[in-house]
Amino acid sequence: MYQYNDFDTAFLAQRNKQFRAQVERRIAGNLTEDEFKPLRLMNGLYLQLHAYMLRVAIPYGTLNSAQMDTLALLAEKWDKGYGHFTTRQNIQYNWPKLSDVPDMLDALAKVGMHAIQTSGNTIRNVTADHFAGAAADELEDPRPVAELIRQWSTDHPEFQFMGRKFKIAVGAAQKDRAVLKAHDLAVRIVQNDAGEIGYEILVGGGLGRTPMIGKVINEFVAREDLLAYIEAVVSVWNQIGRRDNKYKARIKITVHEHGLDDIRARVAERFAQIRPTFTGADQKLFADIKAHFAAPDFRKAPTVEFETAYNANPLFRSWVDTNLSGHRAEGYAIVTVSIKKHGETPGDATAEQMRTLAELARKYGHDELRISHEQNVILPHVHKSDLTAVYTALREAELHTANIGLVSDIIACPGMDYCALATARSIPVAQQIATRFDELKLEHDIGHLQIKISGCINACGHHHVGHIGILGLDRAGVENYQITLGGDATETAAIGERAGPGFAYDEIVPAIERLVNGYLELREGPQETFLESYRRLGLAPFKAYLYPEAQANAA
């Protein structure tokens, strides 16, 4: 993992000192809210419905146990004992007092964390595949590239006041676990025919009110050209992107309006201009960064105990089958810890749970943790011989739910329970769906099914790319939920199709139940997932289950 050097530490200390003074001036009445707002947003501090919200960056979702312990400390000392992991691999605290925030930021700085550029029209926290460094199918660890981009984009003078925010994601595997195609810019680490490692660059993806799938602007950017190329893309957009209308300001609209070829030509021109200014310092830095991400010292040990437990304990077996993924090192597994216990808030972990996770990482996980955009926590490197101990500890902390990738592993934004932008609630809908399918004891039969819920058109809950997407709206002063079907967040990314009229708050859970029951009837067998059935059959047969009355009326 990346460790801050003296420069990083000094930069952060200075920035926190500045913000502390800004907060003091605001409280003393020397700054108006109009003056203060851009300053607090630069430091990740929002004002929501019931309180301030501090969004802390977890760069590319990677953290160590000391950092996780600090996140627990913040939750306990300055919040209400919990934190909310987000779809951007960040954590949000929903109840800080303005006067406490400088102390929170100082506590974070002690473990090399901050809230810089988690808001505002800047380059946001760089996200990455949450199995980075552990996945069996990756070309190389994408985190050094993500860290390089993080350092380049942090406080980048050209990109502090852009027309809108800009989100970058990095992946290096066959499977896309980072929703690359829904980002303003995505870097996919690839290998060319000559065997050289380079980068495929995608631009213009995004969700929100105008969802778009990212397009390949360059199939292969050489390793030493990466930063200059990304800088050229952001620079071109920063100049020609629309500033007259915030709904048309994202790069996806710029690409759409100008056409990919035009943007590609402009980027090539800008790249030619700025490339000579990258004189190799970035490559030296990259080499340093790479050293920080050296693979842990994987150990060899017998796995007999694991196999015995697997065969003897059906609950453990179910958890192993559902929550574990293949690791690149022999004898190891990637453990996804579900932060989606049935009936609980997706992505919310208590301080105590965070400490358990930190302890497990220290004891059994080479001191590494990851946060996924799916709002779960990952122990990326666990030897199979430790899995029973890990499982036992997770059980004690109520973190052992075996539902990864299943119907109750729901992404949900905070929605109108917290967010000032929301038009309807998301969390209770997620809670009720998970509770209902748990009662039905059907979710393992249903298999892989991703439900994603957003409480407004901005789509923080990724509803467009959910197999089942739910969008909460305000229709004439009442919460109303629209369903989209067939979305896909992976390498075969697709925007879901709107199923029809929306459902009232008390109708949405029964509607989802009818839909899923319909799928169970429609599928060719348990091997055919919801998404596969949908792709085979199209919207019509699913619609019949969602709107039985319309069907009856038409008959």
Q: How far is CA 211 from the centre of its chain?
A: 17
From 3, 32, 277, 527, residue interacting with another protein (rule: CB under 8 A): 32
Residue 32: how many other CB atoms lie within 10 Å: 9
Q: Is 13 in the site for another protein (CB under 8 A)?
A: no
Taking CB under 8 A as the binding criterion, the range among 138-146, 313-321, 421-429, 546-554 that sits at the site for another protein is 421-429
**Residue 323 or 431 having the CB closest to another protein:** 431
Residues 6 or more apart whose CB falls under 8 angstroms from that of 520 comprise 442, 445, 446
Q: Is 21 in the site for another protein (CB under 8 A)?
A: no
Taking CB under 8 A as the binding criterion, the range among 46-54, 124-132, 267-275, 533-541 that sits at the site for another protein is 46-54
From 345, 356, 375, 484, residue interacting with another protein (rule: CB under 8 A): 345
CB of 244 to another protein, least distance (A): 25
Reported residue count of the chain is 555
Q: Is 223 in the site for another protein (CB under 8 A)?
A: no
Q: Is 28 in the site for another protein (CB under 8 A)?
A: yes
CB of 21 to another protein, least distance (A): 16
Q: Is 218 in the site for another protein (CB under 8 A)?
A: no
From 153, 323, 325, 431, residue interacting with another protein (rule: CB under 8 A): 431
Residues 6 or more apart whose CB falls under 8 angstroms from that of 319 comprise 391, 400, 402
Q: Is 417 in the site for another protein (CB under 8 A)?
A: yes
DSSP state of 344: S
Does residue 218 sit in helix, strand or coil? strand
Q: Is 39 in the site for another protein (CB under 8 A)?
A: no
From 99, 191, 239, 308, residue interacting with another protein (rule: CB under 8 A): 99
Q: Please give the full DSSP string across 137-178, using - where no structure is assigned.
A: TBSS-SHHHHHHHHHHHTT-GGGSS-SS-B-EEEE-BSS--S
Residue 473, both tokens:
């709206």
**Residue 77 or 536 having the CB closest to another protein:** 77
CB of 44 to another protein, least distance (A): 14
CB of 535 to another protein, least distance (A): 34
CA distance 129 to 142: 8
Q: Is 156 in the site for another protein (CB under 8 A)?
A: no
DSSP state of 338: P
Amino acid at 461: G
- Cβ–Cβ < 8 Å for 19, 308: no
Q: Is 357 in the site for another protein (CB under 8 A)?
A: no
Taking CB under 8 A as the binding criterion, the range among 194-202, 261-269, 274-282, 410-418 that sits at the site for another protein is 410-418
Taking CB under 8 A as the binding criterion, the range among 42-50, 68-76, 456-464, 510-518 that sits at the site for another protein is 42-50
CB of 37 to another protein, least distance (A): 9
Q: How far is CA 158 from the centre of its chain?
A: 26
Q: Is 77 in the site for another protein (CB under 8 A)?
A: no
CA distance 236 to 73: 42
Tokens 């559902």: give the residue.
322
What is the total count of residues that contact another protein (CB under 8 A)? 32
Q: 218-225: long-range contacts at Cβ-Cβ below 8 A with a sequence spacing of 24 or more? A: 218/264, 218/267, 219/190, 220/190, 220/192, 222/196, 222/198, 223/196, 223/197, 223/198, 223/199, 223/283, 224/278, 224/280, 224/282, 224/283, 225/271, 225/275, 225/278
- Cβ–Cβ < 8 Å for 449, 512: no
**Residue 79 or 225 having the CB closest to another protein:** 79
Q: Is 508 in the site for another protein (CB under 8 A)?
A: no
CB of 419 to another protein, least distance (A): 10
From 130, 425, 462, 523, residue interacting with another protein (rule: CB under 8 A): 425
CB of 155 to another protein, least distance (A): 26
Q: Is 147 in the site for another protein (CB under 8 A)?
A: no
Amino acid at 267: V
From 3, 7, 33, 521, residue interacting with another protein (rule: CB under 8 A): 33
Amino acid at 62: T
Q: Is 49 in the site for another protein (CB under 8 A)?
A: yes
What burial letters (b/e) apply to 391-425, b meaning 16+ CB within 10 Å? bebbeebebbbbbbbbbbbbbbbbbbbbbebbbbb
Binding mask of the shown chain, residues 439 to 478, with x at each position contacting another protein by CB under 8 A: -----------------------------------x--xx
Q: Is 421 in the site for another protein (CB under 8 A)?
A: no
Taking CB under 8 A as the binding criterion, the range among 22-30, 208-216, 257-265, 358-366 that sits at the site for another protein is 22-30
CA distance 179 to 250: 17
Residue 301, both tokens:
């040990």
- Cβ–Cβ < 8 Å for 218, 204: no
CB of 401 to another protein, least distance (A): 17
Taking CB under 8 A as the binding criterion, the range among 25-33, 124-132, 139-147, 511-519 that sits at the site for another protein is 25-33
- Interface residues with another protein (CB under 8 A) are 26-29, 32-33, 47-52, 80, 94-99, 345, 348, 416-418, 425, 427-428, 431, 474, 477-479
